[in-house]
Chains A and B, each alone.
Chain A
Amino acid sequence: MTNNTDRRGSLGLLARSPATLLAERMARVGELPSFTWLRKPETGMVMLRGRIGGDGARFNLGEATMTRCTLRLADGSVGVGTVRGRNARHAEMIALCDAMLQQPARAATIRMEVMNVLAQAEQERHARASADTAGSRVDFYTLVRGED
């Protein structure tokens, strides 16, 4: 299951990262492998579900656009790309990375040139946002009344 956990983590990171940054990093990987589509990129919707009170019964909140695709490399590695929004190129890049991460020859390069950089960029985005937000945390203080 470790493989699935890793793959799950990688797919999440690829989907959360800005498509422009992902494209930039993929450009540094060198020649990308050719592939055949098992499912060409298609855009549709995903129904977003919440829970009543955050932890109760499920309910349908509303939909979001979503794009997905599946591709296969020459050696049979299958890559899956699923991303919120309508960016077909983003879904394709996710699927390509997903497939290449399964190839022993390419996985190390993808991890170093793409995944590590995306992870660090995300960490920096979050740290910056947290720092800005934390500045607006309220520090309550009570005024001492003059009775003592």
Chain B
Amino acid sequence: MYVAVKGGERAIAQSHVLLADARRGDAAVPELSIAQIRGQMRLAVARVMSEGALYDEDLAALAIKQAAGDLIEAIFLLRAYRTTLPRLADSEPIDTSRMRLSRRISAAFKDLPGGQILGPTYDYTQRLLDFSLMDESAEIGTADSGPSPNPVETTVAPRVTDLLDRQGLLESEACPAGDPPPPDLTREPLLFPVDRTARLQNLARGDEGFLLALGYSTQRGYSTTHPFAGEIRFGTVPVEVFVEELGFAVEIGEVELTECQLITGFEGGSEEAPRFTRGYGLSFGHSERKAMAMALVDRALRARELGEDTEQPANNEEFMLSHSDNVEASGFVQHLKLPHYVDFQTNLELLRRLREEWEANHGNTAAPAEPPAVPATMEAA
């Protein structure tokens, strides 16, 4: 129960002043610009866009600055902002096979058409602190394009899964008849059981840490999947929107996406031949860990559809989708900071009565006869 409590206005105003000061830090140090955050914190920007469910690098950078680097707070800010904007259109489905690749690897196929392109990755770094970055003037040069044999070669390549698909060993993601528009969780409540398309929307905006931990649980044995990274790609794709005045779709710009296709063996059954199945991850910006965790969880959530055991947490659709959103989770956890004075007072009264009854039944040998010492100020609240 909540009751209106007056009297905090002045304290709140001063708290805002302190917050602004704390965010700004030492005034002798130059202030961060949005362009700096966008350009030099690109992975933080990608996470805030993905989980904020709004692709806008400048707004994500602004949110990070305003939230003093608290990414979940920044995600909350972006989610709040998106509610102020009208929805103008739905895009044509983005075709990831048209991606201009910045990175593309497969852990399942060594020699894939288009090759393995490492791109910018921390995978092959030694995780030693680079003290040269302490000195801002010691800038490292741009990427060396020297050894490239053919500088104008294209960096577009077919999806690995499409190649395997043709051999019939991998389940195909057949487009359903009529290509129906997907459900939209920003407009419709999450009612179980849900379609895989709705699950993917939930996971796409879901918390990376949550998906990472639950995806990890499936690898450690709390599920039955053993996936291969069929393909992970990151790059730039065009966005097309149908424009009514024109009567056709036009490109309105580009976005960076990360896509992950996990491949998992499937034993088949009396009616189905053994084959590989897929888990799918797609996220904004360069966000491989997120896309991989999403694909792991997507596959785990298909257990019921594929007739596998479903008793583990990661197989439980309702559990997973109800707890994946960090804005909701953060709100409910942090609401504990709101005044619960009356609630607590009620509990306190109840406890005193129970204690009296207990003492009457057990004699007052062990427990003190006095009520628990509660400071007068707390009682007054």
Q: Chain A residues in contact with chain B, CB under 8 A?
A: 4, 7-8, 11-12, 15-16, 42-66, 68, 70, 78, 80, 82-86, 126-138, 140
Question: Contacts A52-B196, A55-B173 known; A70 to B90 CB distance under 8 Å?
Answer: no
Tally the A-B contacts, defined by beta carbons under 8 Å: 246
Q: Is the CB of A66 within 8 A of B151?
A: no
Extra A-B contacts (5), CB below 8 Å, given A4-B247, A60-B90, A82-B252? A48-B91, A52-B200, A54-B95, A58-B197, A134-B117
Q: Is the CB of A53 within 8 A of B280?
A: yes
Q: Is the CB of B250 within 8 A of A11?
A: yes
Partner of B245, one of A51, A78, A137: A78
What would 11 A/B residue contacts be, using CB atoms closer than 8 Å?
A: A47-B184, A49-B92, A54-B97, A54-B259, A58-B181, A62-B54, A62-B204, A68-B243, A85-B56, A133-B119, A140-B111
Q: Chain B residues in contact with chain A, CB under 8 A?
A: 49-50, 53-56, 58-59, 82, 85-97, 100-103, 110-111, 115-119, 142-155, 159, 161-162, 172-176, 179-186, 196-198, 200-201, 204-205, 238-239, 241, 243, 245-255, 259, 261, 278, 280, 282, 284
Q: Is the CB of B85 within 8 A of A43?
A: yes
Q: Is the CB of A58 within 8 A of B179?
A: yes
Please indicate the chain A residues that have their CB under 8 angstroms from the CB of B116 in the complex. Answer: 137-138, 140
Closest-by-CB residue of B relative to A63 is: B54
Bound CA–CA A140/B181 (angstroms): 43
* Nearest 4 Cβ contacts at the A-B interface: A56-B173, A84-B253, A12-B251, A53-B173
Q: Is the CB of A132 within 8 A of B145?
A: yes
Please indicate the chain B residues that have their CB under 8 angstroms from the CB of A57 in the complex. Answer: 173, 175-176, 179-180, 182, 196-197
- Looking at the assembled complex, report how far the CB atom of B41 sits from the nearest CB atom of chain A, in whole angstroms: 19
Closest-by-CB residue of A relative to B101 is: A133
- Looking at the assembled complex, report how far the CB atom of B368 sits from the nearest CB atom of chain A, in whole angstroms: 58
- Looking at the assembled complex, report how far the CB atom of A128 sits from the nearest CB atom of chain B, in whole angstroms: 8
Q: Is the CB of B201 within 8 A of A59?
A: yes
Bound CA–CA A56/B282 (angstroms): 13
Question: Contacts A8-B250, A11-B250, A84-B253 known; A133 to B117 CB distance under 8 Å?
Answer: yes
Q: Which of B59, B119, B185, B250 has the most CB of A within 10 A?
A: B250
Bound CA–CA A128/B254 (angstroms): 17
- Looking at the assembled complex, report how far the CB atom of A136 sits from the nearest CB atom of chain B, in whole angstroms: 4
- Looking at the assembled complex, report how far the CB atom of A50 sits from the nearest CB atom of chain B, in whole angstroms: 5
Q: Which of B111, B155, B251 has the most CB of A within 10 A?
A: B251
Q: Is the CB of B255 within 8 A of A53?
A: no
- Looking at the assembled complex, report how far the CB atom of A132 sits from the nearest CB atom of chain B, in whole angstroms: 4
Closest-by-CB residue of B relative to A43 is: B85
Bound CA–CA A57/B199 (angstroms): 12
Bound CA–CA A129/B145 (angstroms): 9
Q: Is the CB of B251 within 8 A of A60?
A: no
Please indicate the chain A residues that have their CB under 8 angstroms from the CB of B243 in the complex. Answer: 68, 80, 82
Question: Contacts A4-B248, A12-B250 known; A64 to B54 CB distance under 8 Å?
Answer: yes
Please indicate the chain B residues that have their CB under 8 angstroms from the CB of A83 in the complex. Answer: 252-253
Please indicate the chain A residues that have their CB under 8 angstroms from the CB of B179 in the complex. Answer: 57-58
Partner of B55, one of A4, A52, A65: A65
Partner of A134, one of B155, B159, B278: B155
Closest-by-CB residue of A relative to B176 is: A57
Bound CA–CA A7/B181 (angstroms): 27
- Looking at the assembled complex, report how far the CB atom of A93 sits from the nearest CB atom of chain B, in whole angstroms: 14
- Looking at the assembled complex, report how far the CB atom of A72 sits from the nearest CB atom of chain B, in whole angstroms: 11
Bound CA–CA A68/B284 (angstroms): 22
Bound CA–CA A42/B86 (angstroms): 9
Q: Is the CB of A135 within 8 A of B255?
A: no
Q: Is the CB of A127 within 8 A of B87?
A: no
- Looking at the assembled complex, report how far the CB atom of A2 sits from the nearest CB atom of chain B, in whole angstroms: 13
Q: Is the CB of B85 within 8 A of A65?
A: yes
Q: Is the CB of B90 within 8 A of A46?
A: yes
Q: Is the CB of A63 within 8 A of B196?
A: no
Q: Is the CB of B54 within 8 A of A130?
A: no
Please indicate the chain B residues that have their CB under 8 angstroms from the CB of A127 in the complex. Answer: 151-152
Please indicate the chain B residues that have their CB under 8 angstroms from the CB of A61 in the complex. Answer: 94, 200-201, 204, 282, 284
Closest-by-CB residue of B relative to A79 is: B245
Q: Is the CB of A16 within 8 A of B238?
A: yes
Bound CA–CA A88/B9 (angstroms): 38
Bound CA–CA A66/B85 (angstroms): 10
Q: Is the CB of B182 within 8 A of A45?
A: no
Please indicate the chain A residues that have their CB under 8 angstroms from the CB of B254 in the complex. Answer: 16, 84
